[in-house]
């Protein structure tokens, strides 16, 4: 198979996948998880049901692929914020605030369907997030010449869990207060 042909096929596959996952994202935002069906996704993405079934066997695999893409994008977004704010003394706060806002803004807050929180891609992303935040906690303590209250990995896990309560906050404005409450305890 000539290289150009492969690239065209690959490019086409990627375009279909992107359109399908964009359709899932739009449907989740509009109607919640229960509004996602194979027929609706196909219609929204402008592909036939037969084509859609070639890419994804069922709604569960669609939601898992959409969730995986979303988690990857979120991680990349947080890393971007980390790079932009490095050395400002506000890096940790900025990244944690962005993370807490993602949780506050996500559809269904912290009540998303359990199926989405399984799977090795999420475990992997979670470990990646933990390591990333542990690094920021270390760098922040060094910058401020402060002593950490615990092992940085334990502190990263504490931060992630503590900020998951952003999902039940009564207002978006309370998110930065939650971040302040969370980071205040990191140093002794």
Restricted to residues 164-183, the positions that interact with a second copy (CB under 8 A) are 164-165, 168-170, 174, 177-178, 180-183
Within 35-54, which residues bind a second copy (CB under 8 A)? none
| Window contacting a second copy (CB under 8 A); options: 41-49, 59-67, 86-94, 158-166 | 158-166
As measured in angstroms, the least distance from the Cβ of 13 to a second copy is 34
Indicate the SS3 state at residue 10. helix
Our CB check for a second copy shows the closer of 19 and 160 to be: 160
Residue 114 within binding range of a second copy, rule CB under 8 A: yes
Q: How far is the CB of 103 from a second copy (least distance, A)?
A: 11
Of 57, 58, 46, 54, the closest CA to residue 22 belongs to 46
Q: Does 158 sit near a second copy (CB under 8 A)?
A: yes
Site for a second copy contains 19 (CB under 8 A) = no
The set of residues, in sequence order, having a beta carbon less than 8 Å from that of 172 and lying 6+ positions away, is 101, 104, 105
101, burial (CB in 10 Å: exposed 0-12, middle 13-18, buried 19+): middle
Look-up of token digits 């109607």: 31
The C-alpha atoms of residue 92 and residue 83 are separated, in whole angstroms, by 11
Q: Provide, rounded to whole angstroms, the least separation between the CB of residue 72 and a second copy.
A: 23
Question: Does residue 120 touch a second copy according to CB under 8 A?
Answer: no
CA-based radius of gyration for the chain: 20
- Kindly report the number of other CB atoms within 10 A of residue 88's CB atom: 10
Which of these segments, 6-14, 26-34, 45-53, 156-164, binds a second copy (CB under 8 A)? 156-164
Contact of 24 with 63, CB cutoff 8 Å: yes
Residues that bind a second copy (CB under 8 A): 114, 149-151, 154-155, 157-158, 160-165, 168-170, 174, 177-178, 180-186
């Amino acid at each position: 198979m000539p290289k150009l042909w492969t690239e065209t096929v690959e490019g086409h596959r990627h375009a279909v996948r992107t359109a399908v996952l964009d359709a899932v994202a739009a449907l989740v935002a509009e109607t919640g998880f229960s509004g996602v069906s194979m027929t609706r996704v196909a219609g929204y993405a402008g592909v036939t049901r037969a084509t859609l079934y070639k890419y994804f066997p069922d709604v569960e695999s669609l939601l898992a692929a959409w969730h995986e893409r979303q988690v990857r994008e979120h991680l990349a977004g947080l890393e971007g914020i980390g790079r932009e704010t490095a050395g400002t003394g506000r890096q940790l706060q900025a990244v944690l605030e962005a993370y807490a806002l993602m949780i506050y803004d996500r559809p269904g807050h912290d009540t998303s369907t359990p199926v989405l929180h399984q799977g090795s891609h999420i475990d992997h992303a979670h470990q990646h997030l933990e390591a990333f935040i542990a690094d920021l906690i270390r760098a922040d303590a060094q910058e401020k010449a402060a002593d950490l209250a615990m092992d940085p990995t334990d502190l990263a896990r504490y931060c992630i869990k503590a900020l998951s309560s952003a999902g039940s906050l009564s207002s978006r404005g309370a998110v930065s207060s939650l971040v302040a409450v969370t980071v205040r305890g990191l140093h002794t």
